[in-house]
């Protein structure tokens, strides 16, 4: 039996689907329908179903095929963490090495190939992704050059001024429609954080939950330009914010604000919500600036915060 990335991903998606749709034991898992739903052919669906059988989520049905087995929370947990693409880890490794100064400003593809033991295709994928996110650039001839986007404080302030503009405006978009279930899901998560989980979750997870909330809100605007713009910023932020130790007390304060914000939205008070979002982001921005108050060129006044960024 083969378990390819696609198969694993599909299995996780199907599990999510079962949970989201509240499907009960004994219901058929129809191959064709699942294939249509997730835009793949039946082949990977079959493999995914076999995988789900092994996890105990599905069992063979009468007359072939699979039906849903039992559904305790424990069973799901096994598939909970979406198996991130192998590439994603290497991508983060490169970002890591870059931010911590292990990679020079300019580098060739072959050098990266050697360092990270990749195939050419994979590396090309990763490089293009980084280029799209705007922190590496192809040189006219051979090689690539890292851009200073991530490392400068200036970029941070810039990104917050941009968010300050678009996020409140998105809430006031004419096409804005609340996605209640998604928002309520976010509220549960934020409540969970406030109730103490915040001191236990990883940086990565915390970042994911918070940016996920902001993205859920902006998605309600149903204007892809707002949505894409924020998502692009978040992909960039992820690379930095992952790494710095987030201060949990102020993070908790932010989560409380998130809860307020969600409640305003759920109550239909869009205008107030937009105002609140503005204030929330303004606070966030000053927080960040205070935390990393080093000018790009200037020597650091606070050695504790100045991690060497580039060789």
Site string for DNA, 157-196 (x = CB under 7 A): ----------------------------------------
Q: Buried b vs exposed e over 133-145: b needs ≥16 C-beta within 10 Å?
A: bebbeeeeeeebe
Q: Which is nearer to DNA, 30 or 182 (CB)?
A: 30
> Least distance in Å: CB of 284 to DNA?
38
Query: Using an 8 Å Cβ cutoff, are 233 and 168 in contact?
Result: no
The least distance separating DNA from the CB of residue 12, rounded to whole angstroms, comes to 14
Part of the chain binding a second copy (CB under 8 A), chosen from 49-57, 111-119, 163-171, 192-200 = 163-171
> What minimum distance in Å lies between the beta carbon of 84 and DNA?
15
Q: Does 110 bind a second copy (CB under 8 A)?
A: no
Q: How far is the CB of 291 from DNA (least distance, A)?
A: 36
Applying CB under 7 A, the span of 59-67, 252-260, 289-297, 300-308 interacting with DNA comes to 59-67
Q: How far out from the chain centre does Cα 229 lie?
A: 14
Judged by CB under 7 A, which stretch of 107-115, 189-197, 209-217, 230-238 contacts DNA? 107-115
Give yes or no for a contact between 156 and 236, defined as CB atoms under 8 angstroms apart.
Answer: no
Between CA 35 and CA 38 the distance in angstroms is: 5
Given candidates 19, 26, 32, 177, which one binds DNA under the rule CB under 7 A? 32
Among 21, 73, 74, 119, binds DNA (CB under 7 A): 119
Minimum separation from the CB atom of position 262 to DNA (A):
37
**124 lines the binding site for a second copy (CB under 8 A):** yes
Return the residues of window 12-51 that contact a second copy according to CB under 8 A.
Answer: 38-41, 44
* H or E segment to which residue 243 belongs: none
Q: Is 165 in the site for a second copy (CB under 8 A)?
A: yes
237 makes contact, choosing from a second copy, DNA, none, with CB < 5 to 8 Å by partner type, with none
- Per rule CB under 7 A, is residue 83 in the interface with DNA? no
DSSP class of residue 245 equals P
Q: Is 311 in the site for DNA (CB under 7 A)?
A: no
130: which residues sit within 8 A by CB, 6+ positions away?
A: 91, 94, 95, 136
Give the pair of three-digit tokens for residue 132.
Answer: 């799209």
Please state, in angstroms and rounded to a whole number, the distance separating the CA atoms of residues 44 and 31: 10
Nearest residue to 171 (alpha-carbon basis) of 288, 250, 269: 269
Number of residues that bind DNA (CB under 7 A): 39
Decide if residue 269 touches DNA (CB under 7 A): no
Among 30, 67, 166, 259, binds a second copy (CB under 8 A): 166
Among 58, 112, 149, 277, binds a second copy (CB under 8 A): 149
Q: Which two tokens stand for residue 88?
A: 């994603």
Alpha-carbon span 45 to 104, nearest angstrom? 44
Distance (Å, whole) CA 174 – CA 220: 11
* Residue 232 makes contact with a second copy by CB under 8 A: yes
Sign of CA dihedral 191, 194, 196, 198: positive
> According to the binding rule CB under 7 A, does residue 128 interact with DNA?
no
What DSSP letter does each residue of 176-218 carry, written as one string? ----HHHHHHHHHHHHHHHTTGGGTS-HHHHHHHHHHHHHHHH
Residue 86 touches a second copy, criterion: CB under 8 A = no
Q: Give the pairing type, strands 66-68 and 28-29.
A: antiparallel
Which residues here bind DNA, judged by CB under 7 A? 2, 4-7, 28-33, 35, 40-44, 46-47, 61, 63-66, 108-111, 119-122, 124, 139-144
């Amino acid at each position: 039996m083969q378990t390819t990335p696609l198969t694993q991903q599909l299995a996780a998606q199907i599990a999510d689907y079962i949970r989201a749709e509240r499907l009960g034991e004994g219901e058929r898992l129809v191959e064709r329908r699942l294939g249509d739903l997730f835009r793949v052919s039946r082949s990977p669906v079959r493999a995914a179903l076999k995988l789900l059988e092994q996890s105990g989520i599905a069992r063979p049905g009468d007359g072939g095929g699979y039906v849903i087995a039992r559904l305790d929370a424990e069973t799901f947990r096994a598939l909970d963490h979406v198996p991130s693409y192998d590439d994603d880890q290497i991508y983060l490794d490169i970002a890591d090495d870059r931010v911590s100064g292990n990679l020079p400003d300019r580098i060739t593809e072959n050098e990266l190939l050697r360092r990270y033991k990749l195939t050419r295709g994979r590396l090309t994928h990763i490089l293009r992704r980084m280029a799209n996110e705007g922190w590496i650039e192809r040189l006219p001839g051979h090689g690539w050059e890292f851009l200073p986007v991530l490392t400068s404080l200036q970029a941070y302030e810039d990104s917050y001024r941009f968010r300050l503009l678009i996020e409140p405006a998105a809430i006031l978009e004419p096409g804005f429609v609340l996605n209640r279930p998604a928002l309520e899901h976010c509220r549960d998560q934020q409540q969970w954080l406030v109730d103490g989980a915040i001191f236990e979750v990883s940086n990565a997870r915390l970042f994911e939950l918070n940016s996920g909330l902001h993205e859920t809100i902006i998605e309600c605007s149903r204007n892809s330009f707002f949505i894409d713009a924020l998502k692009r910023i978040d992909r960039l932020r992820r690379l930095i914010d992952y790494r710095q130790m987030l201060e949990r007390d102020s993070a908790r304060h932010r989560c409380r604000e998130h809860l307020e914000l969600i409640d305003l939205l759920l109550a239909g008070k869009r205008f107030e919500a937009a105002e609140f979002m503005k204030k929330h982001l303004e606070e966030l921005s000053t927080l960040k600036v205070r935390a990393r108050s080093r000018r790009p060129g200037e020597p650091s006044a606070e050695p504790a915060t100045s991690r060497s960024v580039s060789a």
